[in-house]
Amino acid sequence: MNYTLHQLEIFKKIAETESVTKASEQLFLTQPAVSIQLKNFQDQFKLPLFEVVSRKLYITEFGKEIALAASKILEEVAAINYKSAIFEGKIAGKLKISIVSTAKYAMPYFLSNFIKQNEMVDLTMDVTNKMAVIRSLENNDCDFAMVSTIPKKLNIERIELMKNKLYFVANKNFKFPEKQGTLKDLNKPLFIFREPGSATRLAMERYLVKNKVEIHKKMELTSNEAVKQAVIAGLGISIMPIIGIKNELQNGDLQILNIHNLPLETNWNLIWLKTKNLSTVAKAFKSHIENNKKETIKNNFSWFLNHEIY
């Protein structure tokens, strides 16, 4: 047999996705290139690694065993590369971060220079809701988490990053008083909520309860992007973090509603378990954040931190 590491990586990804198309997309390769490598890899075995039924690809039991072995081989190769880089004085290894969905508009900017400066760091960033982020942190499945609400039940360390501002937003055709209005002026629209477990949803619910707003119609969507598109389409209104709607505000697709006691303000925090034994990579990233956060914020986020709607 004369298979290559490249073929192992491709087959491992095909086994994970059960799709040549999805594997090619995730590996940033063309579909024909992936198909050719899959055929060359299969030709080295007497038993089938996969089968196609009704145009859908299925991995055989033998194929699953080969995929598992491929995964272990690739992990060992990565470990060799990390060790080699470390002996050369480089920062090398894996960095795992779990973030709430709205933090995806901020965290890449805090990561950018660190990843560019340390090419041997492999980043995994899970984007999900608050409950899943806290569960990942609690189960030690990540090095760091980025949240706007500090979990009270966990003993954590944190670095405060920057403010998170949330406003009520509507599409460009929504009629609202030019001067500061009240929630009664909303004329009972449909309210668009994030799913349970979302920090944005919790902030919205607290605001509506505190101001005694009676909800007659509501919709629930499972991502910030879905909420944004629904508001742009005129389905209803929602409370959203301004950090995620910069282009839509500039293009005039969305408008911020000038309502009393808004914006709601929280703080983005990078958090980790106090008992966590941080790896060399994690310690390096923590140090990078501490030394560069002010410059990162100034260069990328001053537009919304200084935003006024009046």
Q: Is 4 left (phi over 0), alpha (psi -120 to 50) or beta?
A: beta
Same domain, 143 and 222: no
Q: What is the pTM of this model?
A: 0.71
In tens, the pLDDT along 147-160 reads 988 888 889 999 99
Question: Which amino acid is located at 99 in the chain?
Answer: I
Which of 66, 87, 108 is where one domain is finished? 87
Tens digit of pLDDT for each residue in 112-124? 999 999 988 989 9
In this structure, are 28 and 110 located in the same domain? no
* DSSP-derived secondary structure letter, 176: -
**Tokens linked to 139:** 């189960």
Does 207 fall in a domain? Answer: yes
The CATH number of whichever domain residue 142 belongs to comes to 3.40.190.10
Tell me the longest C-alpha to C-alpha distance in the chain.
76
Residues 280, 153 share a domain: yes
Domain range holding 141? 93-162+267-305
Residues 260 and 173 in one domain: yes
Rounded Cα–Cα distance for residues 271 and 199 (Å): 15
Q: Work out the burial of residue 308: count CB atoms within 10 Å of its CB; fewer than 13 is exposed, 13-18 middle, 19 or more buried.
A: exposed
Q: Is the per-residue pLDDT at 310 higher than 60? A: no
Task: Please state the separation of Cα 288 from the chain's center in Å.
Answer: 20
Q: What is the DSSP letter of 171?
A: E
CB 152 within 8 A of CB 263: no
Please check whether residues 171 and 259 belong to one and the same domain. Answer: yes
Over residues 209-228, the mean pLDDT reads: 87
- Residues 101 and 78 both lie in one domain: no
Q: How many domains does the chain have?
A: 3
Asked if residues 146 and 130 have their Cβ atoms less than 8 Å apart, the reply is: no
The CATH code of the domain that includes 34 is 1.10.10.10
Condensed to tens digits (0 to 9), the pLDDT of residues 250-308 reads 899 999 988 878 888 888 999 999 999 999 999 999 999 999 999 999 998 887 766 65
Say if CB 134 and CB 195 are below 8 A apart.
no
- The pLDDT of residue 68 is 94
Residue among 273, 267, 269, 268 at smallest CA distance from 143: 273
Domain membership flag for residue 13: yes
In this structure, is residue 310 part of a structural domain? no
The string of pLDDT tens digits covering residues 35-65 is 999 999 999 999 999 998 988 999 999 999 9
The pLDDT of residue 186 = 67
